[in-house]
């Protein structure tokens, strides 16, 4: 009789555990980080290099569309400009040393291109993630449409 009670208790625990596991969201439904980091570097010599980085989110964009790609690239360019201005960049670079902004944009665009090339359409069941919040003030952005 005790053996039967132990077996019944073990089975109940197993069934209860399986039931709880089925309540967890599937791995595909869990949120993933959808952002790319832009890094601005200022200075010509390795000892004097200073840098700032900022992530640019795209959870609210469908990068399989031209409009989504255009908005993502615009965000990357504005973020690169903002970071390099914060680092004190005042002018453009030359053939030997590109400007902070040119280098940051080039790097970000290369990585964005890789990301976009493998991006599958979001589909009809996609729910846009939260809108990305820019690191710069809204009035600053109006200077650079």
> pLDDT for 5-48, tens place per residue?
554 555 545 544 444 444 444 433 434 678 888 888 876 545 56
Rounded-to-integer distance, Cα 122 and Cα 120, Å: 6
Q: Which tokens belong to 139? A: 């009035």
Is position 100 within any domain? yes
| Structural contact between residues 100 and 41, judged by C-beta atoms closer than 8 angstroms | yes
Per the structure, the complete domain to which residue 117 belongs is given by 33-141
When comparing pLDDT for 118 and 19, which is higher? 118
How many domains does one find in the chain?
A: 1
When comparing pLDDT for 17 and 97, which is higher? 97
| DSSP structure string for 36-96 | EEEEEEE-SSGGG-EEEEEEEE-TT--TTSHHHHHHHHHHHHHHHHHHHHHTT--S---SS
**pLDDT confidence band for 3 (50 / 70 / 90):** low
Is position 125 within any domain? yes
What 8-state DSSP symbol labels residue 134?
A: P
Is position 22 within any domain? no
Residue 91 confidence (pLDDT):
63
Is position 9 within any domain? no
**pLDDT confidence band for 96 (50 / 70 / 90):** low
pTM of the predicted model as reported, rounded to 2 decimal places: 0.66
pLDDT digits (tens, 9 = 90+) for 53-86: 899 999 899 899 999 999 999 999 999 988 888 8
Determine how β-strand 50-57 pairs with β-strand 35-42.
antiparallel
Rounded-to-integer distance, Cα 77 and Cα 108, Å: 8
The mean pLDDT of 77-105, rounded to a whole number, is 80
Please enumerate in sequence order all residues whose Cβ is within 8 A of that of 56, keeping only pairs 6 or more positions apart, or say none. 35, 36, 37, 38, 72, 75, 76, 79, 108, 132
When comparing pLDDT for 106 and 145, which is higher? 106
Is position 1 within any domain? no
Is position 4 within any domain? no
């Amino acid at each position: 009789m005790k053996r039967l009670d132990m077996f019944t208790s073990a089975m109940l625990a197993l069934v209860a555990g399986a039931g709880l596991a089925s309540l967890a969201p599937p791995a595909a439904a869990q949120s993933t980080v959808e952002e790319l980091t832009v890094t601005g570097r200022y200075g010509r010599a390795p000892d004097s290099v200073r840098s700032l980085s900022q992530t640019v989110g795209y959870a609210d964009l469908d990068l399989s569309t031209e409009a989504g790609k255009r908005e993502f690239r615009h965000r990357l360019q504005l973020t690169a400009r903002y970071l390099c201005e914060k680092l004190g960049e005042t002018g453009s670079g030359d053939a030997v040393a590109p400007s902070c902004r040119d280098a940051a944009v080039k790097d970000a665009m290369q990585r964005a291109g890789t990301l976009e090339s493998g991006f599958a359409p979001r589909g009809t069941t996609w729910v846009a993630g939260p809108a990305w919040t820019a690191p710069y003030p809204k009035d600053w952005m109006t200077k650079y449409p």
